[in-house]
């Protein structure tokens, strides 16, 4: 967290959670916990989002929606599974309509446990996600730079 260069935007999607974690995610973004002080901002548009906060498990209907949201986010991106349902399926794991945690359809980077996940834990997850996003963006930038350099060299040679 020492030197943040970027200000990633958050997208929140409710998988099939019981609402407890969603409300806590929202509570994190309101004054008392105020996760926005870490430079993140809540957005409703997946095309502009960098970090996906997903709560609740995956069921047969939202499977496609979650995949679509993930694909719509520009690279690099970070996924945070908030709450035990998003991590493993939780208390609903044995229900007929639950396929499992969020990682059954999309790759998850950070798991935040808890039922419902506490704001402190969610903020910790967000901070880790910001760090990871920073790292990935740096790697991404280096790759782009390298590509450009090679293209330039190729052009100079040719």
Cβ contacts of 37 within 8 Å, gap of 6 or more: none
Sole binder of other proteins in the list 4, 41, 115, 121 (CB under 8 A): 115
| Residue numbers 92-111 binding other proteins by CB under 8 A | 92, 94-98
CB of 78 to other proteins, least distance (A): 18
Name the β-bridge partners of 47.
none
Which one of the spans 20-28, 73-81, 130-138, 148-156 is the region binding other proteins (CB under 8 A)? 20-28
Helix (H) / strand (E) element for 80: namely strand 78-82
Regarding 127 and contact with other proteins (CB under 8 A), the answer is no
Nearer of residues 92 and 133 to other proteins, judged by Cβ? 92
CB of 5 to other proteins, least distance (A): 27
CA angle 9, 13, 18 (to 5 degrees): 140
Nearer of residues 13 and 134 to other proteins, judged by Cβ? 13
Regarding 12 and contact with other proteins (CB under 8 A), the answer is yes
Q: Are 130 and 40 in contact (CB under 8 A)?
A: yes
Cβ contacts of 4 within 8 Å, gap of 6 or more: 38, 39, 130, 134
């Amino acid at each position: 967290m020492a030197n943040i260069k970027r200000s990633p935007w958050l997208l929140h999607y409710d998988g099939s959670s019981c609402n407890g974690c969603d409300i806590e995610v929202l509570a994190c973004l309101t004054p008392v916990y105020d996760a926005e002080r870490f430079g993140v901002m809540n957005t409703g548009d997946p095309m502009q989002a960098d970090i996906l906060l997903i709560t609740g498990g995956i069921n047969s209907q939202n499977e496609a929606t979650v995949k679509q949201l993930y694909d719509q986010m520009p690279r690099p991106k970070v996924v945070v599974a908030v709450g035990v349902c998003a991590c493993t399926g939780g208390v609903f794991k044995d229900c007929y309509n639950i396929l499992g945690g969020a990682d059954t359809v999309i790759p998850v980077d950070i798991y935040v446990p808890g039922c419902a996940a506490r704001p402190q834990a969610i903020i910790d997850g967000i901070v880790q996600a910001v760090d990871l996003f920073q790292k990935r963006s740096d790697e991404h930038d280096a790759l782009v730079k390298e590509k450009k350099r090679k293209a330039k060299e190729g052009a100079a040679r040719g």
